[in-house]
Amino acid sequence: MARLNLVIISGLSGSGKTYALKAFEDAGYFCIDNLPPALLPTFVDLCNQQNSEIANVALGVDIRERAFFSDFVGILERVKALGHTVQLLFLEAREEVLIRRFSESRRPHPLLPHLPVLDGIRFEKERVAELRRQADRIIDTSDLTAHELGELLAKQFQRESSGRRLTISLMTFGYKFGVPYDIDLLFDVRFLKNPFFVPELKPLSGDDPLVRTFVLTDPEAVSLMEHLEGLLKFLLPLFQRERRSYLTVGIGCTGGRHRSVAIASCLRESLAALGYEVGLKHRDIDKT
């Protein structure tokens, strides 16, 4: 039977539970918000099915009824007894911070929507006091931005066994066919010598060894590759530190057939040698 790493996220309304769940999702956890606790054993059984690849799970749960809480604790104990790792994460914030957050979002408190927000906050704190006492980890988000909360959670709940790395997609294109809209970084290589004007190279593509040699032996192309490789070696760990799961790099020339293809293919080999998972798509290679 597969063993689950299960993180239960709860706490006060306005304390950042939604942001926390998004941080776990970005870290590769399977996430569900507002799962009824009574369904937790069924969910665990589904995850243990033979073909399931789910191992790390984060669940957003609200427990405000005292009578409901005893059932919840019992459910967690049954899950732990099956050998699964269960951690209860409780988020909270100071009253004045919660009041400000509700004011900024113009939302009433969900427990007492027709009363002042402070009444709802204090009422909820009473309701979840026992849940807080049972928590494995308590995080006060009063002085944290959403980004800082995500960083904190990434450090505290980083999956030790995960080999997850940034996935890079290289896309070549021709400027005369338009710039792709779904790219993160863009490099224009139209300044390089163009094989299009060499009769024997014109009908070929940048994947052909003759075109690759023509493009990549140009001193300016050699210098370009050195700068691109150096820049990406610097940038990629920083993107990964920000928990980016993918990055799309566009490389364009006039027609998207020769120079961009040769440069992108060479860059793919360099990045793959560094251990990155790199995809390559030639958008316009067959266009004329």
33 in Cβ contact with 18 (< 8 Å): yes
Using the 3D structure, point to which of 105, 129, 156 is the last residue of a domain: 156
Using the 3D structure, point to which of 133, 156, 179 is the last residue of a domain: 156
- Residue 280: per-residue pLDDT: 92
- Residue 161: per-residue pLDDT: 39
Residue 271 belongs to some domain of the structure: yes
Claim to verify: residue 140 and residue 203 sit in the same structural domain: no
Residue 288 belongs to some domain of the structure: no
Claim to verify: residue 105 and residue 180 sit in the same structural domain: no
Claim to verify: residue 13 and residue 125 sit in the same structural domain: yes
Residue 55 belongs to some domain of the structure: yes
Using the 3D structure, point to which of 100, 128, 156 is the last residue of a domain: 156
pLDDT in tens, the chain (288 residues): 567 889 999 999 999 999 999 888 887 888 998 888 788 888 888 887 756 678 889 998 876 655 566 678 888 888 888 888 888 999 999 999 999 999 988 889 988 899 999 999 999 999 888 888 888 889 999 988 888 888 788 777 765 434 456 789 999 999 999 998 778 999 999 999 999 999 999 999 999 999 999 999 999 999 999 999 999 999 998 888 776 767 899 999 999 999 999 999 999 999 999 888 898 999 999 987
Claim to verify: residue 9 and residue 152 sit in the same structural domain: yes
Residue 161 belongs to some domain of the structure: no
Claim to verify: residue 55 and residue 141 sit in the same structural domain: yes
- Residue 158: per-residue pLDDT: 63
Claim to verify: residue 41 and residue 130 sit in the same structural domain: yes
d(CA 43, CA 145): 32
17 in Cβ contact with 11 (< 8 Å): yes
Q: Report the DSSP pairing between strands 167-174 and 56-60.
A: unpaired
Claim to verify: residue 240 and residue 152 sit in the same structural domain: no
Closest CA to 71 of 111, 110, 114, 40: 40
Global pTM? Answer: 0.57
Provide the CATH number for the domain around residue 105: 3.40.50.300
Residue 10 belongs to some domain of the structure: yes
Edge-to-edge strand order for the sheet containing 246-253? 185-188, 246-253, 167-174, 277-282
Claim to verify: residue 12 and residue 139 sit in the same structural domain: yes
Residue 287 belongs to some domain of the structure: no
Claim to verify: residue 72 and residue 127 sit in the same structural domain: yes
Claim to verify: residue 225 and residue 141 sit in the same structural domain: no
16 in Cβ contact with 149 (< 8 Å): yes
Closest CA to 26 of 15, 38, 34, 18: 18
Q: Can you tell me which residue has the tokens 């204090």?
A: 122
- The total number of structural domains that make up the chain: 2
- Residue 160: per-residue pLDDT: 42
- Residue 105: per-residue pLDDT: 85
Neighbouring C-beta atoms of residue 227, cutoff 10 Å: 10
Claim to verify: residue 66 and residue 208 sit in the same structural domain: no
Closest CA to 130 of 74, 60, 86, 69: 69
d(CA 72, CA 251): 53
Residue 188 belongs to some domain of the structure: yes
Range of the domain at 62: 5-156
Claim to verify: residue 143 and residue 210 sit in the same structural domain: no
Residue 209 belongs to some domain of the structure: yes
Neighbouring C-beta atoms of residue 56, cutoff 10 Å: 19
DSSP class per residue in 122-179: HHHHHHTHHHHHH-SEEEE-TT--HHHHHHHHHHHS--TT-----EEEEEEEEGGG--
